[in-house]
Structure 1
Amino acid sequence: MELRPAEPADRPAIRDVARRSLQASYSLGPQAINSAIEEWYDEDRLEATFEDEERLLLVAEKAGQVVGFSESVTAADNTGTLLWLHVDPAHRGEGVASALFEATREHLADLGATHLLGRVLADNVEGNTFYEARGFDKVGTEEVDIDGRTYVENLYSESEQWGREPVETEDGRTVYVDHDNHERGSIAPFHIVHVDEGGDDRYGYFCSNCNTLANAMDSMGRIECDSCGNVRKPLRWDAAYL
């Protein structure tokens, strides 16, 4: 098995593996799967991924055939996030996922990542077990929209959790900055801010570049810090990234 960075010629194989993997691992309908493939792995999105120095696509190849791939991203606070790890169902149980995982972690470390996060949809039992078996702890949840429907995504961390820090808003309200949960920014990450320490309700975002709350969001889901101009760049490809 060969593990290597993806190339433009791999785009059809990446889409095919992603489709097969989603069909086997998730309770998604055909339309939802088609929409996810079109949104995340169409020609333009993959081309942008290849050109983005903060994004990493690795493929696993057997006998000249791509049988799996990982998609990950690095952030300015030395955090690497494994967004997807897809393996063709016909090649599961052959160590492809483990090999891709270790190769991805090594590549992210070479890029300066010292802290690794993993994301997996909550209804993927096999995927959640994969992280738990490697000593990762569930540190939170997020929501991802697929074909107009909202799904819960679990977040896993292999490093010591930094926890939630109380901060005060301008009107004297106490909210909690989640240092274990962030999204990309053009300058530095935006950390998720919760209404209470339990993290049940989201308040907004905290700009780690200038340490200020950034709560305003436009209709496209775009967030910009008024203090320093840091702009939210979602981990998932969506309209706000274009």
Structure 2
Amino acid sequence: MDIRPATPSDAEGMKTVHDEIFAAGLRKAPGDIRQVMASYIDETDRIGCFVAVDDDGRIMGFQSLRYARTGNPYGVAEGWGIIGTHVSPHAARKGVGSGLFRATLDAAKTFGLAKIDASIGADNALGQAYYEAMGFRTYRTPEGLVCKMFEVSA
């Protein structure tokens, strides 16, 4: 498996990951190329976005990290990072999530973040367990969400 920064040529594979998550009943909507480009590749507050690619060149998952500005849609404190993780159900339990987080954590440290937020659906037990395994801890629970925080150390 190769973990590397996402590029525009990865958008179709990232959309496919969203589609696979949707087909498994773990996402509310299928993928959309424009949304992938806007939210992950061309995101203006992007700190990093990484893809996990298998030996055949297939994207197994991706993780994004953006800078939280005042008034962000997640209610995250300004100056924190906002993380999002998307792993194909076909790639579960293969080290994709932990590999992606290592790359994202390096980017967070380079950028100088102190904290990272993961806002997870309250009904997403897999997502909550993943972030707990990565060292995130619950710090608030707005309606419908469980928000977990990771303290970045140098």
Give, in angstroms, the shift of residue 115 of structure 1: 1.1
In structure 2, C-alpha distance between the alignment counterparts of 1:44 and 1:129, rounded to whole Å: 26
In structure 2, C-alpha distance between the alignment counterparts of 1:23 and 1:105, rounded to whole Å: 29
Tell me what 2:10 maps to.
10
Could you give the per-residue CA deviations for residues 149-193 of structure 1, whole angstroms, max 9, x where no partner exists? xxx221101239xxxxxxxxxxxxxxxxxxxxxxxxxxxxxxxxx
Higher-strand-fraction structure: 1
In structure 2, C-alpha distance between the alignment counterparts of 1:97 and 1:153, rounded to whole Å: 20
- Specify whether residues 134 and 8 from structure 1 end up closer, same or farther in structure 2 by C-alpha distance, changes over 3 A only: closer
Kindly indicate whether structure 1 or structure 2 has the higher relative contact order, using CA contacts under 8 Å at least 6 residues apart.
2
> Could you tell me the TM-score, scaled by structure 1's length?
0.52
In structure 1, C-alpha distance between the alignment counterparts of 2:139 and 2:115, rounded to whole Å: 13
Tell me what 1:236 maps to.
none
In structure 1, C-alpha distance between the alignment counterparts of 2:95 and 2:49, rounded to whole Å: 18
Q: 2:41 corresponds to which letter in structure 1?
A: F
Tell me what 1:108 maps to.
108
Q: Across the two proteins, how many residue pairs are aligned to each other?
A: 142
Tell me what 1:79 maps to.
80
- Specify whether residues 49 and 128 from structure 1 end up closer, same or farther in structure 2 by C-alpha distance, changes over 3 A only: closer
Q: 1:75 corresponds to which letter in structure 2?
A: A
Identity %: 27
Give, in angstroms, the shift of residue 20 of structure 1: 1.0
In structure 1, C-alpha distance between the alignment counterparts of 2:121 and 2:145, rounded to whole Å: 4
Tell me what 1:156 maps to.
148
Could you give the per-residue CA deviations for residues 113-171 of structure 1, whole angstroms, max 9, x where no partner exists? 1212212211111111112233322112346xxxxxxxx221101239xxxxxxxxxxx
Q: Aligned Cα RMSD in Å? A: 2.4
Give, in angstroms, the shift of residue 45 of structure 1: 5.5
Q: Mark the structure with the bigger radius of gyration.
A: 1
Paired residues of 1:61 and 1:68 also in contact (CA < 8 A): yes
Give, in angstroms, the shift of residue 50 of structure 1: 2.9
Tell me what 1:184 maps to.
none
Alignment partner of 1:58 out of 39, 44, 50 = 50
Q: How does 1:136-215 map to 2 (within 5 A)?
A: 136-142=136-142, 152-159=144-151
Tell me what 1:33 maps to.
29
In structure 1, C-alpha distance between the alignment counterparts of 2:66 and 2:132, rounded to whole Å: 21
Tell me what 1:89 maps to.
89
In structure 2, C-alpha distance between the alignment counterparts of 1:43 and 1:93, rounded to whole Å: 29
> Could you tell me the TM-score, scaled by structure 2's length?
0.78
Q: Secondary structure at the match of 1:33?
A: coil
Alignment partner of 1:67 out of 60, 76, 81 = 60
Give the gaps of 5 or more residues in structure 1. 144-151, 161-242
In structure 2, C-alpha distance between the alignment counterparts of 1:33 and 1:17, rounded to whole Å: 12
Paired residues of 2:11 and 2:36 also in contact (CA < 8 A): no
